């Protein structure tokens, strides 16, 4: 395996061309444990694909299957190039959220940055999915616990609820995050971004991810935040989203409607485990 991270959003990567794992959910739960395992937000298998250059098969730390991860897919790009699985600087990766196109920035034979076409956001309440109706869910009231919040919903291949507030650094996200994640209006649970607007070109966010808890970064979440911020007239169509683990540059193209995310991908270490799954 290879441990990698994008802005601190860390995953264990397994070469599915060579390694065979029968119980991938169990592997994700066991290996992701930060005290008794390798430690990660989940596990990603890089597999052959008959639809694209590679397939990204992703599991959260709780063993649940995930559709897509923006930080994770950048690391897939670095893995396949740096380890010689491809010599292309533009690749296509199959995910449960569709095929994503990635442009690799290469210096001295190594990838040091990746731009991902995250696709066109889905804004319909039913397709988030949620019990909200209408073509868009923008700044709508939602009671969570005993308090009312205003939420904007965006699906970037996986579901996101964006909430704007002040002083997110002092937020007790461990208490509030699970209440959003498991709220009855979200039948497939929800990723929640708590966002503080700095100015028209920069926002800060913290994220509570389904099946993983708070992570240091979330690429689909940062993309969803940019879309929500444009819809709420809080930022320009290009902005920096500052996460606990670093910054991502996000652009929502006005003509194509596609969202583009640019950020780093880093290898932490390679290793082997004697566990059988």
Which residues are known to be catalytic? 69, 218
Which structure tokens are listed for 145?
């616990």
> What tokens does 231 get?
């819809």
Indicate the burial class of 248 (C-beta count within 10 angstroms; 0-12, 13-18, 19 or more). buried
């Amino acid at each position: 395996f290879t441990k990698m991270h994008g802005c601190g959003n860390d995953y264990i990567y397994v070469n599915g061309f060579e390694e065979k794992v029968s119980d991938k959910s169990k592997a994700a739960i066991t290996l992701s444990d930060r005290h008794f395992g390798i430690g990660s937000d989940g596990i990603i298998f890089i597999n052959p694909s008959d639809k694209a250059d590679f397939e990204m098969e992703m599991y959260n730390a709780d063993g649940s299957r995930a559709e897509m991860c923006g930080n994770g897919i950048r690391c897939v790009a670095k893995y396949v190039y740096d380890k010689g699985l491809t010599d292309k600087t533009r690749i296509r990766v199959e995910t449960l959220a569709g095929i994503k196109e990635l442009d690799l920035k290469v210096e001295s034979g190594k990838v040091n940055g990746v731009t991902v076409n995250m696709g066109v956001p889905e804004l319909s309440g039913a397709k988030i999915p949620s019990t909200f109706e209408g073509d868009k869910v923008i700044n709508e009231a939602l009671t969570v616990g005993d308090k009312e919040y205003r939420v904007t919903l965006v699906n970037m291949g996986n579901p996101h609820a964006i909430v704007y507030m002040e002083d997110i650094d002092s937020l007790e996200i461990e208490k509030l995050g699970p209440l959003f994640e498991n709220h009855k209006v979200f039948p497939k649970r929800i990723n929640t971004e708590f966002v503080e607007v700095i100015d028209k070109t920069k926002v800060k966010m913290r994220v509570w991810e389904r099946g993983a808890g708070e992570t240091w970064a979330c690429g689909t979440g940062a993309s969803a935040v940019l879309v929500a911020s444009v819809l709420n007239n809080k930022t320009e169509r290009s902005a920096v989203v500052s996460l606990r683990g670093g910054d991502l540059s996000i652009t929502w193209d006005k003509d194509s409607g596609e969202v583009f995310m640019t950020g780093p991908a880093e290898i932490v270490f390679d290793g082997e485990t004697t566990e059988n799954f």
